[in-house]
C-alpha cells in the first residue's frame, strides 16, 4: 500500500486495495465523500448504514494520507489543552469538546465490537510529564483545565517511560490501536452495505448546477446532493488555507535492548512535544516515538529532524535498532479547534473537516459523526463549536498574522533565494533542488541512475516555490502544505493539479 511519502510507516503492510477502478457513467448519489482516511471511511460507513447512498472516492488508496502515517493514540485530551479552550471559548464549549472525545472513543469501540475488528485495540493510561519548571507551569494549568471539564487526571510519582521528570500525571482510560487494521474493516463494511468505493480518483472541483452538485474528478463527473471533503485539508483555494498551518511530525519505531516496553501512552511538554506508545507487530515489540514537528517546507534538511529525534531517543532509551522511521503531515488550526461543517465560500451542502492538530483519530471520528448527523438529520450538537466559518478573536490575533507573514516570507524570499547551478551534474543521485536556469526556476530531481526529472517549481495551488524534502523524496510547498512526488504528482492538497513537467 502506498503512502504520501517515500518512507514506510509501521502500519502500511496492513493497507489493502479495494474498490472499483472506474466510475459508473451517470450514476447519482446522495453523498460524495472525497478521501479514504479515518474521517472519510467512518463518515461513509455511518451514512451508508443510515440508508444514505454514498460514493467514497480516494485520490490514491485507503490510508494514503496521514491515517497511514499516524501513531494512533486515542485520547480524551487534545493538543489544544482544555485550559486554553476554556479561556478562548468558555467552560461550556470545553465540556462539549470533552464530551465529543468521549463519544468518538465510544464510537470506535462500538465499531470494533460490532464488526469484530482485530485491530490491536488496547486501553492504556496516558502520562503527561514536565521536564523542567517552565513545562511544569503548563502541566499545572493542564491539570486544572482537565479537572474543570471532568477528565480524570491524577498526580503520580512514576514515569513509566523512565524519563526523569519534574511532575508526572496519569490520565486513565486512554487507548491505542492499529489504524489501518481498523480502517480496512470499516471500508469493507461500507462496501458490503452497498457503498461504492473508487480508488485513484481525485475530486478536483465541485459546482452547483440545477439544485444538484456536480463533482469533477480525474475519472469523470459525479452527480450528488451533498459532498464531504474528508481530504484532511479541502482542495482548491479557500479561506481555510489561511486558518490552518501545515506541519510535519517525525516518528521512529524502535526495538529496545532491555526488552522492557511500558504499557502506557506518554507525552512530555517540550515545544514541540514528544509522544510515545508501544506496539506489537508479528510478535515483535516496538516503542513508537514521535516529535520534532516543524512547518512543512520550513527546514532545509529533513534528515536533521530524524537525527534529532534519534539522538533524543538514544539519550532516554536503550535502543537496539530503529526499525521504521517516517514523517507525516497535520494541520494546526488558528484557534486550536477543528473546522467541521459547511465549507466557507463553497456551494451549499459541501462540507469539510480539517484542523485536527495531532488528534485526528478522535477528532476525525467525531467529524464523521458531526457530518453524518448534519447530512442525515439536519443538525449536530457540535455544529456551532466547530463551525468552519467562525471568526474568533484568538484566531484573528497572533496565529493568523504569524502564518500569513510566514506565507509571504516563503512567497518572496524563496523565489529570490533560488541558487544558480552551473552544472546539473553537481546534484547528487536521488536528490532534488530548485535551481535558477536561464531565468527559470526549475525543480530538478536526479534519480538513482543519474537521469534528471525537471518540473516547474511553482506550486500549482498559489504559486509559492516548492522545497525538496530529502527524506520523503517529495516537493513540499511551505505556504499551504501541498506536496508533490518526484514525478510532480499531487501527494497532499490543497493543490489538485500536478507540477508541470518540463
Ligand atoms: C506523525 C503524526 C502522528 C499522529 N498521531 C496521532 C495520534 O496518536 N492520535 C491522533 O488522534 N491523531 C494523530 N495524528 C493526527 C491524525 O493522524 C490525523 O489527523 C488523521 O489521520 C487525519 O485523518 P483524515 O482522514 O482527515 O485525513 P487523511 O488520513 O490524510 O486522509 C485524507 C485522504 O484524502 C485523500 N485525498 C486528498 N485530496 C483528495 C481529493 N481531492 N479527492 C479524493 N481524495 C483526496 C488522500 O489521498 C488521503 O488518503 C497524527 C498526525 C501525525 C502527522
For residues 343 and 389, give the distance between their C-alpha atoms in angstroms, rounded to a whole number. 8
Quote the CATH superfamily of domain 12-70+180-242+336-390. FAD/NAD(P)-binding domain (3.50.50.60)
Could you tell me if the CB of 5 is within 6 A of ligand 1?
no
Phi-psi label, residue 15: left if phi above 0, alpha if psi -120 to 50, beta otherwise: beta
Give 138 Cα–ligand 1 centroid separation in angstroms. 28
Give 102 Cα–ligand 1 centroid separation in angstroms. 20
Output the CA–CA distances (angstroms, integers) from residue 139 to 73, 78, 150, 269, in the order listed. Answer: 19, 13, 16, 8
C-beta atoms surrounding 220 within 10 Å: 15
Tally the C-alpha atoms within 13 A of residue 385's C-alpha that lie toward its C-beta.
24
For residues 367 and 235, give the distance between their C-alpha atoms in angstroms, rounded to a whole number. 17
Could you tell me if the CB of 139 is within 6 A of ligand 1?
no
What are residue 479's DSSP bridge partners? none
Ordered alpha helix ranges (H), 19-160:
38-49, 82-89, 91-114, 133-149
Could you tell me if the CB of 36 is within 6 A of ligand 1?
yes
Could you tell me if the CB of 339 is within 6 A of ligand 1?
no
Q: What is the pLDDT of residue 439?
A: 78
Could you tell me if the CB of 176 is within 6 A of ligand 1?
no
Could you tell me if the CB of 356 is within 6 A of ligand 1?
yes
For residues 332 and 342, give the distance between their C-alpha atoms in angstroms, rounded to a whole number. 19
Residue with cell 464523521: 368
Q: Return the domain boundaries, the chain.
A: 12-70+180-242+336-390, 122-175+246-333, 404-492
Do domains 12-70+180-242+336-390 and 122-175+246-333 share one topology? The answer is no
Output the CA–CA distances (angstroms, integers) from residue 79 to 203, 359, 360, in the order listed. Answer: 30, 7, 11
What percentage of the chain has pLDDT greater than the value 70? 94
For residues 199 and 176, give the distance between their C-alpha atoms in angstroms, rounded to a whole number. 28
Tally the C-alpha atoms within 13 A of residue 346's C-alpha that lie toward its C-beta.
27
pLDDT, tens only, 17-31: 777 888 887 789 999
The C-alpha cell of 326 is what? 517516517
Mean pLDDT of the chain: 93
Q: What is the pLDDT of residue 411?
A: 64
* Closest residue to atom 22 of ligand 1, CA basis: 360
Q: What is the pLDDT of residue 319?
A: 96
For residues 93 and 73, give the distance between their C-alpha atoms in angstroms, rounded to a whole number. 23
Could you tell me if the CB of 202 is within 6 A of ligand 1?
yes
pLDDT, tens only, 367-391: 999 999 999 999 999 999 999 999 8
Nearest to 484 by CA among 463, 466, 465, 502: 466
Q: What is the pLDDT of residue 74?
A: 98
Residue with cell 516496553: 261
Phi-psi label, residue 120: left if phi above 0, alpha if psi -120 to 50, beta otherwise: left
Q: Are 174 and 123 in contact (CB under 8 A)?
A: yes
The pairs formed by 133-140 with CB atoms below 8 angstroms and a separation of 24 or more are: 133/166, 135/166, 135/268, 135/269, 135/270, 136/166, 136/167, 138/81, 138/269, 139/166, 139/167, 139/169, 139/269, 140/167
Q: Are 277 and 34 in contact (CB under 8 A)?
A: no
Backbone torsions φ then ψ of 500, nearest 5 degrees: -75, 130
What are residue 436's DSSP bridge partners? 420, 441
* Closest residue to atom 20 of ligand 1, CA basis: 360
Which residues, 6+ apart, have CB-to-CB distance to 309 below 8 Å? 250, 252, 274, 289, 290, 291, 292, 325
Could you tell me if the CB of 362 is within 6 A of ligand 1?
yes
Which residues, 6+ apart, have CB-to-CB distance to 372 below 8 Å? 43, 46, 47, 50, 52
**Structural fold of domain 122-175+246-333:** D-Amino Acid Oxidase; Chain A, domain 2 (3.30.9)
* Closest residue to atom 18 of ligand 1, CA basis: 360
Which residues of the chain are under the pLDDT cut of 50? Answer: none
Q: Whole-model pTM?
A: 0.95
Residues making up the chain, counted from first to last: 502
CATH of domain 404-492: 2.102.10.10
Q: What is the pLDDT of residue 422?
A: 56
Could you tell me if the CB of 65 is within 6 A of ligand 1?
yes
Nearest to 3 by CA among 49, 51, 68: 68
Give 330 Cα–ligand 1 centroid separation in angstroms. 7
Could you tell me if the CB of 230 is within 6 A of ligand 1?
yes
Amino acid at each position: 500500500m502506498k503512502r504520501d511519502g517515500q518512507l514506510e510507516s509501521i502500519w502500511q503492510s496492513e493497507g489493502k486495495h479495494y474498490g472499483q477502478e472506474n466510475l459508473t457513467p451517470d450514476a447519482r448519489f446522495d453523498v460524495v465523500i472525497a478521501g479514504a482516511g479515518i474521517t472519510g471511511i467512518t463518515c461513509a460507513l455511518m451514512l451508508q448504514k443510515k440508508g444514505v447512498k454514498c460514493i467514497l472516492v480516494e485520490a490514491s488508496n485507503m490510508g494514503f494520507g496521514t491515517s497511514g502515517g499516524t501513531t494512533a493514540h486515542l485520547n480524551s485530551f487534545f493538543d489544544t489543552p482544555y485550559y486554553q479552550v476554556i479561556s478562548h471559548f468558555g467552560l461550556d464549549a470545553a465540556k462539549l469538546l470533552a464530551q465529543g472525545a468521549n463519544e468518538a472513543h465510544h464510537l470506535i469501540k462500538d465499531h470494533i465490537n460490532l464488526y469484530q475488528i482485530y485491530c490491536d485495540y488496547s486501553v492504556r493510561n496516558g502520562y503527561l510529564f514536565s521536564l523542567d519548571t517552565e513545562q511544569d507551569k503548563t502541566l499545572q494549568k493542564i491539570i486544572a483545565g482537565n479537572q474543570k471539564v471532568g477528565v480524570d487526571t491524577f498526580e503520580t510519582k512514576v514515569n513509566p517511560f523512565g524519563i526523569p521528570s519534574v511532575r508526572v500525571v496519569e490520565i486513565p482510560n486512554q487507548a491505542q490501536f492499529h489504524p489501518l487494521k481498523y480502517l480496512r474493516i470499516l471500508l469493507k463494511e461500507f462496501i458490503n452495505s452497498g457503498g461504492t468505493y473508487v480508488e485513484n480518483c481525485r475530486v478536483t472541483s465541485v459546482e452547483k448546477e440545477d439544485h444538484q452538485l456536480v463533482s469533477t474528478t480525474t475519472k469523470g463527473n459525479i452527480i450528488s446532493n451533498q459532498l464531504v471533503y474528508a481530504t484532511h485539508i479541502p482542495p482548491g483555494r479557500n479561506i481555510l488555507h489561511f486558518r490552518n498551518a501545515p506541519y510535519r511530525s517525525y516518528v521512529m519505531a524502535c526495538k529496545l535492548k532491555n526488552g522492557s516496553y511500558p504499557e502506557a501512552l506518554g507525552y512530555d511538554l517540550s515545544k514541540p512535544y514528544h509522544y510515545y506508545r508501544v506496539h506489537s507487530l508479528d510478535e515483535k515489540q516496538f516503542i513508537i516515538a514521535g516529535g520534532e514537528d516543524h512547518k512543512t517546507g520550513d527546514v532545509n534538511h529533513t534528515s536533521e529532524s530524524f537525527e534529532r529525534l534519534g539522538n533524543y531517543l538514544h539519550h532516554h532509551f536503550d535502543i537496539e535498532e530503529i526499525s521504521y522511521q517516517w514523517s507525516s503531515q497535520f494541520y494546526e488550526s488558528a484557534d486550536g479547534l477543528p473546522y467541521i461543517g459547511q465549507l466557507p465560500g463553497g456551494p451549499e451542502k459541501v462540507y469539510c473537516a480539517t484542523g485536527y492538530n495531532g488528534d485526528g483519530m478522535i477528532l476525525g471520528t467525531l467529524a464523521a459523526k458531526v457530518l453524518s448527523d448534519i447530512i442525515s438529520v439536519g443538525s449536530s450538537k457540535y455544529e456551532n463549536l466547530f463551525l468552519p466559518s467562525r471568526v474568533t478573536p484568538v484566531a484573528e490575533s497572533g496565529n493568523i498574522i504569524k502564518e500569513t507573514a510566514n506565507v509571504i516570507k516563503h512567497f518572496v524570499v524563496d523565489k529570490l533565494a533560488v541558487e544558480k547551478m552551473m552544472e546539473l551534474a553537481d546534484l547528487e543521485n536521488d536528490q532534488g533542488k530548485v535551481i535558477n536556469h536561464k531565468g527559470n526556476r526549475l525543480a530538478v530531481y536526479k534519480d538513482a541512475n543519474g537521469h534528471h526529472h525537471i518540473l516547474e517549481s511553482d506550486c500549482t495551488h498559489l504559486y509559492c516555490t516548492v522545497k525538496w524534502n530529502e527524506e520523503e523524496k517529495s516537493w513540499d510547498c511551505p505556504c499551504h502544505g501541498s506536496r508533490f512526488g518526484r514525478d510532480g504528482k499531487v501527494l497532499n492538497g490543497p493543490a489538485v493539479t500536478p507540477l508541470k513537467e518540463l
